[in-house]
Structure 1
C-alpha cells in the first residue's frame, strides 16, 4: 500500500526535504506519495503556526482524511526541541486527531544541517575545485552556531571567490542555492551524527512501519 504523506515545511526553500522523505521510505521498502501544498498561494494565506498550516492543508483536501501521515518541519529557533515537538503534537491532535505525524526539528534552523558538506557548498557557489578555507563547524558544533543561516550565506560567498557585482548576484540566489543544498544533502554523510536528524529519520521509519 502506498503511504499518502503530507509535508508541511517552513518555507519554499525547504521543500527539498521531500526527496529525503521519499528516499528513507524507499530504503525501508515502503512506497510513499508526498504532497507539499503551496499554502502561500491560498487567497487566505495561513499564519505561521503549525495549527494554521494544518487547517489550511485540510481545506485543500476538502476536509477528508486524505493522508496517512503528516511530516511537519519546525525549526527550534530559540526554543528547546521538546517544546516544538509538543507544539506539533498538540496541533495535530487539534486539527486531525489520530493522524500519524513526524516532527522535523533542526536545532536553531535547518541551515545547520547544510553547513556540514563543504563540497556541496563549493558546487552551488560555482567553484567546485576551490580550496579557500571555509571555517565551517563539524557535526559536534553545527547545531550550536548562533546564526547558521548567516554562516551558510557567508560560506557560499567565500567558496565562490567572487567579488563585486558577481558576488552580489550570487548573494541574491541564496534561497535557490539553499534549496539546492537541501536536495543534495547526503543522508549517509556527517548529518547522520546530528541528534535532530536522527530523531527525524527514526520517527519517520517508525511511522512508516506502523502505516498500513
Structure 2
C-alpha cells in the first residue's frame, strides 16, 4: 500500500511538473510569437502602402483614398475571378456581362474584327462576331494570368496588372459605370 501511495505521489508530481513546464514554455513562446506577428503585420502594412502609392501615382489633381483603393481592388479582383470562370467554362454570356457598352459596340464591328484577325498568330482565322473575339483573342491572351495590383488612370478607370521584375504587365482595363467595374477592351 505504501508503494502504491509513493507511486501515485511520484506520478502526480511528474504530471504537475510536466504541465508547469508546458505552461512555462507556452508563456516563453507567446511573447516571441506576438513580436513576430507584429513585425509581419508591419511588413504587410509597408507593402500595402507601397502598393497604394504605385496604384495612385499616375493620378494628377485627383485623389483616391486608401479605403476607396482597397474597395476598388477587391471589387476588381472579384470581377477578374468571374472572368476567369467565364474563360475556363467558355461562358460567353458571363464574359459579355462584364464588358463596357463601348467595347461591345466596337468589337461587334466587322471591320475591327477583320483587322484584329490579321494580327493574330493563327493565320487565316476569320472573326465573325464578339463571340469569336472572346474565343480567339480574349481567352488565349488572358487565361491563367495572375493579376496582383491595380493602377489608376482616373478615379473611374483602372488597369489591372501583374507585377514581374518591377514591370507592369497589363491584362485588363476597367471602367466604373453606374457603380460597376466593367472591362474596357483595347481598341486598334
What's the TM-score bracket when you normalise by the shorter of the two chains? under 0.3
**TM-score between both structures, scaled by the size of structure 2:** 0.23
**TM-score between both structures, scaled by the size of structure 1:** 0.21
Tell which has more relative contact order, 1 or 2 (C-alpha 8 A, sep 6+).
1
More helix by share: 2
